[in-house]
Chain A
Amino acid sequence: KAGVTQTPRYLIKTRGQQVTLSCSPISGHRSVSWYQQTPGQGLQFLFEYFSETQRNKGNFPGRFSGRQFSNSRSEMNVSTLELGDSALYLCASRGQITNEKLFFGSGTQLSVL
């Protein structure tokens, strides 16, 4: 079974631009969640999607948004990028059982200049 796939692996943007990151979950997984990892704030939950519906959202500004498609693939978008958005963005998928383990992708390293 293929793991969680995130593209691109690295991304460099400038302030004010917008960016879209992509995540393909493990086959059969319908839940996809996104996390931001920075040296200062650690790992923080962004949002979770299940069957194309946002089920849970972390404490991030509205510039951070996401969506999920019918094939469970997910995208997250960050508009009007700020320097502080530089981070490793991790996507994770899981099955339907609550408290089931999350499988993570390798992440997208975003640098905002």
Chain B
Amino acid sequence: AQKITQTQPGMFVQEKEAVTLDCTYDTSDPSYGLFWYKQPSSGEMIFLIYQGSYDQQNATEGRYSLNFQKARKSANLVISASQLGDSAMYFCAMSTNNAGNMLTFGGGTRLMVKP
């Protein structure tokens, strides 16, 4: 079975500062993918970044980077230069070969950016 844990229910960050959102995962499948999604109040889930279990380098997408520590089973999201529009719920999720295309989500972290 797969499990995703996000231990920070809510976080504040000052505008223009960097913030790290924590995510730990558990799976026995050696082949898996880790995702981060952003969900603003409108409800849509917006894809941010993806890391494959065999990827050698940490994924980056613009202001988003994924700090992938395989031995620790962690996949933390780092947002650099926070903007007011970054205020939203953030979900870490995992898919595994054994589970097909099913995503297992964590409980989410609500990020609030202060002006």
Contacts and interface: CB of A to CB of B under 8 A. Distances in A.
Contact of A105 (B44, B50, B108): B44
Interface in A10-57: 31, 33, 35, 42-43, 45, 48, 50, 55-56
**A contact patch SS:** strand
B102 A33 contact: yes
A6 B108 CA distance: 23
A16 to B, nearest CB: 26
B105 A42 contact: yes
B108 A99 contact: no
A56 B100 contact: yes
Contacts of B103: 33, 35, 43, 45, 92, 102
Given A43-B91, A43-B105, A98 B100 contact: yes
A33 B45 CA distance: 13
Given A45-B103, A101-B47, 4 more contacts: A99-B32, A101-B50, A104-B44, A107-B44
